[in-house]
Structure 1
Amino acid sequence: MKKALFIVLLCSVWATIPAQAQKFGYIDTEYIFSKMPEYQKALSEIDKFADKWSKDIQDKYVEIEKLQKAYQAEEILLTEDMKRDRQKAISDKEREARDYNNKVFGYQGLLFEKKKELMKAPMELINRAVEKVCLQKKLNFMFDKASDFVMLYTDPRHDYSDYIMEELGLDTKPTATNGNPTNKTTTKPK
Structure 2
Amino acid sequence: MKRIILLFTLLIGVAVGSYAQKFALIDMDYILKNISSYETAQEQLEVVSKKWQGEVEKVQLDVKNLYKKYQSDLVFLSAEQKTARENEIVEKEKSLQELNKKYFGPEGELFKQREALIKPIQDDIYTAVKEISEAKGYQLILDRASAESVIFASPRIDISNEVLAKLGYSK
TM-score (norm 1): 0.71
Match of 1:158 in 2: 157
Give distance in 2, aligned partners of 1:135 and 1:144.
17
* Alignment partner of 1:91 is 2:110: no
Aligned residues: 156
Give distance in 2, aligned partners of 1:136 and 1:142.
13
Match of 1:32 in 2: 31
* Alignment partner of 1:170 is 2:159: no
Q: Which runs of 5+ in 2 are unaligned?
A: 1-11
Q: Name the SS of the counterpart of 1:65 in structure 2.
A: helix
* Alignment partner of 1:146 is 2:145: yes
Amino acid of the structure 2 residue aligned with 1:58: E
Give distance in 1, aligned partners of 2:31 and 2:132.
14
Match of 2:8 in 1: none
Matched ranges for 1:73-152 at <5 A: 73-107=72-106, 109-148=108-147, 150-152=149-151
Identity of aligned residues (%): 28
**Alpha-carbon offset, residue 63 of structure 1:** 1.7
More helix by share: 2
Match of 1:180 in 2: none
* Alignment partner of 1:51 is 2:39: no
Amino acid of the structure 2 residue aligned with 1:95: K
- Most deviating of 87-96 and 98-107: 98-107
Give distance in 2, aligned partners of 1:27 and 1:131.
12
- Most deviating of 34-43 and 141-150: 141-150
Give distance in 1, aligned partners of 2:55 and 2:112.
18
* Alignment partner of 1:41 is 2:36: no
Amino acid of the structure 2 residue aligned with 1:105: F
Give distance in 2, aligned partners of 1:140 and 1:79.
74
Taking only aligned residues, the RMSD between alpha carbons, in angstroms, comes to 2.2
Amino acid of the structure 2 residue aligned with 1:38: S
**Alpha-carbon offset, residue 128 of structure 1:** 1.7
Aligned pair in 2 of structure 1 residues 148, 46: CA closer, same or farther (>3 Å)? farther
Give distance in 2, aligned partners of 1:52 and 1:83.
34
Give distance in 2, aligned partners of 1:70 and 1:47.
34
**Alpha-carbon offset, residue 62 of structure 1:** 1.9
Conserved 8 A contact 1:53-1:104: yes
Amino acid of the structure 2 residue aligned with 1:64: V
Conserved 8 A contact 1:104-1:111: yes
Aligned pair in 2 of structure 1 residues 136, 39: CA closer, same or farther (>3 Å)? same
Q: Which runs of 5+ in 1 are unaligned?
A: 1-14, 173-190
Give distance in 1, aligned partners of 2:107 and 2:151.
31
Aligned pair in 2 of structure 1 residues 129, 117: CA closer, same or farther (>3 Å)? same
**Alpha-carbon offset, residue 90 of structure 1:** 0.9
